Amino acid sequence: KAGVTQTPRYLIKTRGQQVTLSCSPISGHRSVSWYQQTPGQGLQFLFEYFSETQRNKGNFPGRFSGRQFSNSRSEMNVSTLELGDSALYLCASSLESPGSGYTFGSGTRLTVV
């Protein structure tokens, strides 16, 4: 059974640019969540999508957005990149609700210069 796939694995972007990250969840998983991981703040919740609808949202500015497609694949977008957006972005999927745990992808390492 294929795991959660995130692409690309690494990205380098310039301040002010925008970026789109992609996530393919485990087949059959309908809930997809995104987290930002930094050494200073740890794992911070961005948003959760379920059946193409945003079901929960974390405390991030509107520059961070996402969407989910009918096949459960998800993308997140960050516009007007700032240096502080440099982080590991993790996608996680679960069957219906992540209450009893997620399966995470390996993440996309974003560096903003």
| Residue 14 within binding range of other proteins, rule CB under 8 A | no
52 Rama sector, left if φ>0, alpha if ψ -120 to 50, beta otherwise:
left
The footprint of other proteins on residues 22-51 (CB under 8 A) is 31, 33, 35, 41-43, 45, 48, 50
Binding map of other proteins across residues 47-86, x = CB under 8 A, - = no contact: -x-x----xx------------------------------
Annotate 3-17 with b (16+ C-beta within 10 A) or e (fewer): ebebeeeebebeeee
Estimate to the nearest angstrom the gap between the alpha carbon of 49 and the chain centroid: 10
Binding map of other proteins across residues 83-102, x = CB under 8 A, - = no contact: -------x-x----xxxxxx
Q: 93 forms bridges with which residues in the sheet?
A: 32, 103
Q: Pick the closest to residue 18 from 86, 89, 79 (CA basis).
A: 79
Q: Which is nearer to other proteins, 16 or 96 (CB)?
A: 96
| Residue 5 within binding range of other proteins, rule CB under 8 A | no
User: What residue ranges bind other proteins (CB under 8 A)?
Assistant: 4, 31, 33, 35, 41-43, 45, 48, 50, 55-56, 90, 92, 97-107
